[in-house]
Structure 1
Amino acid sequence: MGLRQLSSPRTAPKGNATSALGMLIAVAATLLAFEIIQPVDLLLGVGAGILIGGVLAWRIQMTAMPQLVALFNGLGGAASALVVLAELTRPKATPLESSSLVAAGVGILIGNITLMGSLMAFGKLQGVIPTGAIRSRILPWLNLMLLLACLGFTGALVGAPDSMVIMLTLVGLSLVLGVTGVMSIGGADMPVMIAFLNALSGLAASATGFALHNEVLIVAGSLVGASGIILTNIMCKGMNRSLGNVMFAGVGVADGSGGALAAPGGGTVKQASPEEAALMLVESELVIVVPGYGLAVAQAQHAVRQLADELEKKGVEVVYAIHPVAGRMPGHMNVLLAEADVDYEKLKDLDEANPLFPQADTVLVIGANDVVNPVARTDTSSPIYGMPILDADKAASCLVLKRSMRPGFSGIENPLYSSDRTMMVFGDAKDTLLELIAQVKQN
């Protein structure tokens, strides 16, 4: 029932609550039926979880949502690894079967990789650690050696399930692999990495289920793992790259120290005042909004919806073009616009949006960079060459709202900004949108 409700944006919140309730009932029934804990302990655990979750939900900013998702993935991996370790170390009347021990080793391996990989992703997104990709010829070989060592100790665990040395060595190596595996991932590839870590958290839970012979964990973990793998594949296709290329190519963040009016190739850019930009929008018949991470940073989702409402009052059609890797997590722009109550029917994916750009009078790009970069179509030497982009450069005119001329998270300059069809409006996206709203009302 929960999965069916999750298939529609309108019923997704109810589906999320239904699925969570179902999992709570399954966990509570298991703990009480086998007398694993007392009812009081169960209530304390549920209460603590509700309290922590409630505080997070209340205080978290939408700009920090990718970091929160990364932490959730990490907690899922940690939970799986801890449950397996508890099962391996508890006194047992009969030893575990070989198949269960293999599953336990895999659960420890994937769970710890997910934990440390997610913490690394969180650190990069939060700016706690450098966001750029670390390029090293040694790192892929180090990761391969660590993986082979982990698999070797997983096999050794089958032969000596009571050996704390083997167990702790496997834990340590898998934690290190989680760090080194994500170390080479640049900020531009973080949405793909988060989707992949989500898949790993599900696979860890499923492996734990096999180790414990717990059908609920197997089914739930398989669902999360399968959906995460499908999403990772979709995200990779959205960048025209393989998962291996994402893991090892290291597309990162450039210095981006260019001045406000420095354009790619030494060209010049044209600036528009809010008054001029508002006039362009009002005189348009079709406006396509292209949101990016800058929209999230400025918390401008409500302002862009208000601007769209004002334009629609004047007979202007407004739609939103959503790139699958826009932002810092899968579905980032969808979440932001849903929070602002934007009609889901107005959100167009890549395939739906691109045929509309040649018909558009104005494209309003808000904090998006790489997903509208024509270099992906023209420059074979560019790291993003071949990546499907939103064809904003094919519209009659383009308004770009940015703080400066600095490149996107990939560090690649965007010639769209110096195009004859493009006008730049510099400043905070939310402040600029509020000025545009005021000017549109006056026209």
Structure 2
Amino acid sequence: MDAALIIDAAYFAAAFLFIYGLKRMSSPVTARSGIVVAGWGMVVAVLASFLYTLDVNAAARPHLPTNITLAAIALAIGLGWAWWSGKRVAMTAMPQMVALYNGMGGGAAAAIAAIELLGHKTHGSVGLTLAVLGGLIGSVSLSGSLIAWAKLDGRIDRTLRLPGLQLINGAILLLTVAIGVFMVYRHGAVAMPLIALFFVLALVYGVMMTMPIGGADMPVVISLYNAFTGLAVGFEGYVLNNPALMIAGMVVGSAGTLLTLLMAKAMNRSVRNVLFSNFGAGGAEGTGAIQGTMKSVDAGDAAINMRYASKVIIAPGYGLAVAQAQHKLYEFVKLLQDAGVEVKFAIHPVAGRMPGHMNVLLAEAGVPYDIIYDMEDINNEFKEADVAVVIGANDTVNPAARTNKSSPIYGMPILNVDQAKQVYVIKRGQGKGYSGVENELFFRDNCSMVYGDAQKVMIAMIQAVKSLEGGGH
């Protein structure tokens, strides 16, 4: 059989698996199998690339791998590193890993563009334009994603503040685009130093664009760079005449764009506001003094109150992931269910550090999908709940988003936990959320604080309920 026909068929199969896998990822029930399906699509696409060497019509294809040994070595290193890092990464560090992988994808697209431009392999205005755009977007995604990773991982703990920073960034971007336009105008016939300057400026812009953004917005930035990477890969797929790259890039780009818009909407902010407002970089001003006082309660007393409740709704947040308390939480939930208590989980779209973070965490502990609800599906039920339990969440349950027009988070959709008859907030201390805003919920008459590490608190709650049933003997 003609190798060209096998290659084209393989790319068609890979594209189908990518799209079908993404479709299955839309539901928690089928998400795991969707990832496996998309993974097999990537295996097919990678293997198809090695078949180019068997193509008798290779001369008709302008862009072919020329060193199978180096490609195989690179593939082995990539597989080994991905397997090792994937097995050892903590759930709390998953957003950092996503940022790194986004960056690597953008870097790969930029490297392809660099080879095309330096080797004068791309001809025609359309091909050159897409190569330049792919190089620009991929470079920005690479350096920006690395900064996002460093901020989330605590390796960079400051934001960049300079007078006229946006003007500086605008000048860098304008100069980079001007060089790119010149390269297209000259049909790629430019000196190597100018091409190198183009990529250096693009990398610098990625750093300068990301450094001013506060930690609260890093998940949105990561999602945006994910879209950038997909776009860059799609452009370079056209340059290489590779259908699999084009389709995969378009799928990733569109999915990343939709996710970015979804996250921005969940915070009632525009993407422009996320990128240029410096939100979450410091304390919030002008929010006014909060009336009331914080009240603390013992974990055991809170657990006994929940044991005799009719309905309990749990709102998990990033603190649950940090404490790795999901397994003990579900053990406690099962004790409540055995006692006849109706228990549900309420998930805010930006709970944790990435959309779906809490869903994955709860699924890891074996929590059934049918008691996990998205915000819009459960928000009206809080007023019927005897108890609402907040574990490690902050801004996503702050009533100031509904009532305080001077608050930076005003207008942000929140979980209506304050409408429950009694609220327990499990928290390690009295710290503020990513936004730097004091949480009005903590001062409400119907709210009590349970201070401590979430896992230790859950152990204490389990022991308290078991002691009531005589299970502690």
TM over 0.5: yes
Q: Which residue of 2 aligns with 1:85?
A: 114
The one-letter code sitting in structure 2 at the alignment partner of 1:407 is K
Q: Which residue of the other structure, out of 197, 209, 232, is the alignment partner of 1:204?
A: 232
Give the Å deviation of 1:205. 0.6
Match of residue 406, structure 1, among 428, 431, 435: 431
Unmatched 5+ residue regions in structure 1? 257-262
For each residue in 1:122-167, what CA deviation from the matched residue of structure 2 results, as whole angstroms up to 9, or x when unmatched?
1111111125x54555122222222222211110111341421221
CA distance in 2, matches of 1:307, 1:353: 21
Question: Which residue of the partner structure matches residue 260 of structure 1?
Answer: none
Q: Using the alignment, how far apart are the partners of 1:143 and 1:136 within structure 2?
A: 11
Give the alignment partner of residue 393 of structure 1, picking from 402, 410, 418: 418
For residues 123-162 of structure 1, what are the structure 2 equivalents within 5 Å?
123-131=150-158, 133-134=159-160, 138-160=164-186, 161-162=188-189
Conservation of the 8 A alpha-carbon contact between 1:291 and 1:366: yes
Q: What whole-Å deviation, never above 9, does each CA across 1:53-103 have from its counterpart, x for those lacking one?
A: 1111221111111111111111110011011112222364xx511111111
**Alpha carbon RMSD of aligned pairs, Å?**
1.9
Q: Tell me the secondary structure at the aligned position of residue 265 of structure 1.
A: coil
Q: Distance in 2 between matches of 1:83 and 1:73?
A: 16
**Deviation digits for residues 31-58 of structure 1, max 9, x if unmatched?**
3324625655554333322221111122
Q: Contact 2:283 / 2:435 at 8 angstroms: preserved in 1?
A: no
Q: Deviations over 1:176-218 (max 9, x none)?
A: 1111111121111122112111111111111111222221111
Q: Which residue of structure 2 lines up, in the alignment, with residue 339 of structure 1?
A: 364
Partner of 2:124: 97
Residue 5 of structure 1, CA deviation: 2.9
The answer for the alignment partner of 2:140 in structure 1 is 113
Q: Comparing 38-47 with 311-320, which one deviates more in the overlay?
A: 38-47
Superposed, which structure 2 residues align to 1:30-429 within 5 Å?
30-34=49-53, 36-37=65-66, 41-90=70-119, 92=121, 96-131=123-158, 133-134=159-160, 138-160=164-186, 161-162=188-189, 163-254=191-282, 265=290, 267-429=292-454
Q: Distance in 2 between matches of 1:105 and 1:87?
A: 9
Q: Distance in 1 between matches of 2:214 and 2:304?
A: 39
**How far did residue 227 of structure 1 move?**
0.6
Give the distance between the partners of 2:108 and 2:422, measured in 1 at CA.
51
* Alpha-carbon spacing, 1:352–1:254, altered in 2? closer, same or farther (3 Å): same
**Does the 8 A contact of 2:176 with 2:201 survive in 1?**
yes
Provide the C-alpha distance between the structure 2 equivalents of 1:91 and 1:386, rounded to a whole number of angstroms. Answer: 52
CA–CA separation in structure 2 for the residues paired with 1:40 and 1:180: 38
In structure 2, relative to structure 1, the CA distance for the partners of 1:380 and 1:266 (3 Å cut) is closer
Specify whether residues 266 and 377 from structure 1 end up closer, same or farther in structure 2 by C-alpha distance, changes over 3 A only. closer
Q: CA deviation at 1:266?
A: 6.6
User: Quick one: structure 1 residues 264 and 283, their matched pair in 2 at CA, closer, same or farther if it must change by over 3 Å?
Assistant: farther
| Distance in 2 between residues matched to 1:196 and 1:7, nearest whole Å | 19
The answer (yes or no) to whether the contact 2:401–2:413 under 8 Å persists in 1 is yes
Q: TM-score, normalised by structure 1?
A: 0.93
Instruction: Note the alpha carbon deviations across 1:270-309, whole angstroms, 9 max, x for none.
Output: 1110111111211111111111111111111212111111
Q: How far 1:410 moved relative to its partner?
A: 0.9
Tell me how far apart the structure 1 counterparts of residues 160 and 410 of structure 2 sit (CA, whole Å): 21
Structure 1 CA distance, aligned partners of 2:276 and 2:43? Answer: 39
Aligned length in residues: 434
- Structure 2 Cα separation of the partners of residues 168 and 39 of structure 1: 27
Q: Quick one: distance in 2 between partners of 1:419 and 1:209?
A: 56
Q: What is the CA distance between 1:109 and its match in structure 2?
A: 0.7
Residues in 2 aligned to 1:253 and 1:393: alpha-carbon distance in whole angstroms: 27
Q: Larger deviation: 25-34 or 415-424?
A: 25-34
In 2, distance between residues paired with 1:39 and 1:78? 21
User: How far apart in 2 are the matches of 1:336 and 1:314?
Assistant: 25
Cα distance in structure 2, aligned partners of 1:15 and 1:42: 27
Q: Distance in 2 between matches of 1:181 and 1:424?
A: 39
Q: Which amino acid aligns with 1:312?
A: Q
| Aligned counterparts of 2:167 and 2:271: Cα–Cα separation in 1 | 17
Query: What SS class does the counterpart of residue 415 from structure 2 fall into?
Result: coil
1:25 aligns with 2:24: no
SS at match of 2:290: helix
Identical columns (%): 44
Structure 2 residues without counterparts, runs of 5 or longer: 1-19, 54-63, 469-473
Question: TM-score by structure 2 length?
Answer: 0.88
User: 1:315-339, CA deviations, whole angstroms, 9 ceiling, x for partnerless residues?
Assistant: 1111111111122222221221122
For residue 171 of structure 2, what is the amino acid of its counterpart?
M
Q: Which structure has the greater CA radius of gyration? A: 2
Q: In the aligned structure 2, how far is the partner of 1:17 from the partner of 1:335? A: 16
Structure 1 equivalent of residue 457 of structure 2:
432
